[in-house]
Amino acid sequence: MELDGSQHNEQKDAARTRLLVSQGWKVLRFWDSEALMHTEAVIEAIWIALGNRTLTPTPLPAGEGLQAR
């Protein structure tokens, strides 16, 4: 998650977002005032974004890992 405030620079942010996305990250951007004044809505947006994610790393196939002993 990125909070954008007065130092916000759309070109630099776009480049940073492209870099993070290329490395497999999902980027959520919120204005700092939005996070302060609408905290519950920001948290809900984060939970929604997390809800569609799989475990990383994904669970091992049956018979592998600690249960395989």
Digit-coded pLDDT (tens) for 23-61:
988 888 888 889 899 999 999 998 888 886 666 566 667
Q: Which residues contact 35 (CB under 8 A, 6 or more apart)?
A: 3, 42
Q: Which residues contact 28 (CB under 8 A, 6 or more apart)?
A: 1, 2, 45, 46, 49
Whole-model pTM: value is: 0.59
- 53/16: higher pLDDT: 16
Domain boundaries, the chain: 2-57
pLDDT for residue 68: 47
